[in-house]
């Protein structure tokens, strides 16, 4: 039930993976834009660092692979603010490096649990909230990757999850139409975050021909601006897919 003392122009967002990287940058930008923002992630200290004492931030420790954690996250948001207008489904891991014959099934399943099942669980709770609330509707933004279009070498688990994210996005968009729910996917390439160090973008990322190449990166704040643009589109508009990359990175023509 919405608190009648809350403003009529209330905008409420849930950001997963908000303790670092793209999630942190998006959460901070949405707070600056006037959103009430629930910050979700496994480590409370990092969430509190993201919030930096902002009065409109709500830090909720949450493992997106645990259904009870996800249900509690959205229950806390609805108790505090009465609705969910935007979900940025961002929590994810890169997973094991290797080809399909080299990685273990446990590593494979762990990557799918976070990147696919975790995203599904969060989207499911968001959709339920968006159907129930008045006015009805909302927007889900799934963080894919340019790996949803073209893989890096030795990234089979991650690449499969990001292709699956595209199917999740399109299905939510289709099924949400009757309820005013839109769903889009942002595919980001080489924004400057911790994961770029993991795959060696700044020191020499593995290329399709076996060579290594230092690739350009762009500020994470600019990636966050693209997410905010999607979030702030009018309800009459759906942004189904948006690709944002560092200028000059080997994506178009990759391979």
Active site amino acids? 158
Compute the residue count for the chain: 255
Token pair listed for 240: 């189904």
Distances (CA, A) of 186 to 171, 228, 240, 248: 15, 11, 8, 19
Taking a C-beta distance cutoff of 8 angstroms, is the pair 159, 112 a contact? no
Contacts of 251 (CB under 8 A, 6+ apart): 146, 149, 150, 189, 245
For tokens 């939510």, name the residue.
172
Taking a C-beta distance cutoff of 8 angstroms, is the pair 242, 186 a contact? yes
Taking a C-beta distance cutoff of 8 angstroms, is the pair 12, 36 a contact? yes
φ/ψ (deg, to 5) at 23: -60, -45
| Rg, Å, the chain Cα set | 18
Token pair listed for 86: 């935007």
Whole-angstrom distance, CA of residue 138 vs CA of residue 74: 14
The 10 Å Cβ neighbour count of residue 36 is 23
């Amino acid at each position: 039930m919405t608190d009648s003392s809350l403003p009529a122009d209330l905008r409420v967002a849930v950001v997963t993976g908000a303790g670092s990287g793209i999630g942190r940058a998006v959460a901070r930008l949405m707070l600056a834009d006037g959103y009430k923002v629930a910050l979700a992630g496994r480590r409370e200290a990092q969430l509190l660092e993201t919030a930096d004492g902002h009065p409109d931030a709500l830090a909720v420790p949450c493992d997106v692979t645990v259904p009870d954690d996800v249900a509690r996250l959205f229950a806390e948001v609805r108790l505090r603010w009465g609705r969910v207008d935007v979900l940025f489904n961002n929590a994810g891991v890169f997973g094991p490096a290797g080809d399909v014959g080299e990685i273990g099934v446990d590593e494979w399943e762990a990557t799918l649990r976070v990147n696919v099942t975790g995203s599904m669980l969060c989207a499911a709770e968001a959709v339920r909230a968006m159907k129930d609330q008045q006015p009805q509707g909302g927007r889900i933004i799934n963080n894919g990757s340019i790996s949803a279009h073209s893989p890096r070498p030795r990234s089979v688990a991650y690449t499969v999850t990001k292709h699956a994210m595209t199917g999740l996005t399109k299905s939510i968009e289709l099924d949400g139409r009757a309820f005013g729910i839109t769903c889009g996917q942002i595919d980001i390439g080489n924004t400057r975050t911790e994961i770029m160090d993991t795959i060696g973008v700044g020191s020499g990322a593995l290329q399709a021909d076996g060579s290594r190449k230092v690739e350009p990166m762009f500020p994470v704040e600019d990636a966050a601006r693209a997410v905010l643009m999607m979030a702030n589109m009018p309800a009459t508009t759906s942004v189904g897919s948006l690709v944002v990359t560092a200028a000059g990175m080997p994506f178009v023509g990759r391979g």
